[in-house]
Amino acid sequence: MREGPRLRVSLWVYGALFLAALAVLPWIGAARLAPQAVAAHLGAVRTAEGLIFFHQRVPRVLLALLTGGALALTGAALQVLFRNPLAEPWTLGVSGGAAIGAFAAQAVPALDLAFGPLTATQALALAGAAGVMAMIYGFARRWGAVSAQTLLLAGVTISIVSGSLIMLMTYFVAPYRFVSFHRWMMGGLDVIGYRDVWTFLVPGLPGLAILGWLAREYNHLALGEDTALGHGVDVARVQRWTFLGAGLTTAACVTVAGPIGFVGMIVPHVVRRLSGFDNRRVLPGAFLLGGAVLALCDGVGRTVIAPTEIPVGAITAVLGGPVFLYILVRR
């Protein structure tokens, strides 16, 4: 009888932080906004403060909430799948694979084609993420349970190869394209309008739905594949759907924000420590808390040395690096 109230309280706390970030952070920035001028923008009068608030800061905070939440939820799912506390899209090299596809779409004009509802950047980022996930899936299926050291070595290797391929491609693109992409590689959420929010939702929403749908199966899988099979869980099916969902969410995040690390690794551990190990609680809690954390990091990045901005990926790396080393040493 106690588990129900604990679940509601935990999710309410994370939800409150999520909504607080959405309500407060759009008011924070280099330029101070008068509430009266912002409210006037909703009427017949168009004000500069209203344009900044509704077309720059609100979509930016929304994108940070969605991206941070997707990274954290994906990290929580991958940690259960591999039974590895260090697993997340960035450490496994999935973000690097998606970055190769996204860079190819932006750097090569011939690839700038639409693929159904997806843009070229989305489609090729998804292809890059899928390729890396397929490699990791092959390792896991061939050698069984993959150790933390093996996964980290594979992820670091894939990231290095991805970075090398991107550096090679820069020699064949115009300099102005490389400058803009270099900024993107550091992880950034500087957007105007809601186009990037919709761009994220096209592959990201199905990916989040898939991972959330598997929450109950993850509880069995966390006890080991043999135990999950004994409980009637189709482990191979869960693995396939997890790789599909993780590939979709990672591609969505990388497309709009670049490769952002450590959010997907750290936030799930915080949620498990605060709310237990039930993945029906961990996954939505990770989404809500991860979104709030990334939005807060982005708010710090655009105000601490305003009007200059610090890329949010640099902030998460500075904060997450020591935590990563701490978890690695403990393992």
CATH number at residue 94: 1.10.3470.10
Is the Cβ–Cβ distance between 99 and 258 less than 8 Å? yes
pTM above 0.85, yes or no: yes
Range 195-201, long-range pairs (CB < 8 A, 24+ positions): 196/59, 196/63, 196/256, 197/59, 197/62, 197/63, 197/66, 197/256, 199/119, 199/122, 199/252, 199/255, 199/256, 200/63, 200/66, 200/67, 200/70, 200/252, 200/253, 200/255, 200/256, 201/66, 201/252
**Rounded distance, CA 325 to CA 85, Å?**
12
- Output the pLDDT for position 9: 57
The reported pLDDT for the residue numbered 67 is 96
| Sign of CA pseudo-dihedral 108, 112, 115, 119 | positive
Mark the ranges of the chain whose per-residue pLDDT is less than 70. Answer: 1-9, 111-118, 140-152, 176-180, 182-184, 328, 331
Q: What are phi and psi of 290, to 5 degrees?
A: -60, -40
Tokens of 267: 């936030």
pLDDT of 140 reads 63
Pairs from 325-330 (Cβ < 8 Å, separation ≥ 24):
327/85, 327/86, 327/265, 327/269, 328/86, 328/148, 328/152
- Amino acid 307 reads P
Q: Using an 8 Å Cβ cutoff, are 99 and 184 in contact?
A: no
How many domains does the chain divide into?
Answer: 1
Which residues face 115 on adjacent strands? Answer: 118
Query: Contact, 88 vs 41, CB < 8 A?
Result: no
pLDDT at site 32: 83
Q: Give the model's pLDDT for residue 1.
A: 37
Domain that holds residue 323: 3-330
Instruction: Please name every residue paired with 147 in a beta bridge, in sequence order, or none if there are none.
Output: none
168 by Cβ neighbours in 10 Å (0-12 / 13-18 / 19+) ranks as exposed
pLDDT number for residue 8: 53
* Closest by CA position to 246, among listed 170, 136, 159, 165: 136
pLDDT at res. 2? 46
Number of Cβ within 10 Å of residue 247's Cβ equals 28
Encoding tokens for residue 256?
A: 């709009």
Cα(10)–Cα(213) distance, integer angstroms: 20
Let me know the angle formed at the C-alpha of 180 by 114 and 70, rounded to the nearest 5 degrees: 65
Amino acid occupying residue 154 = A
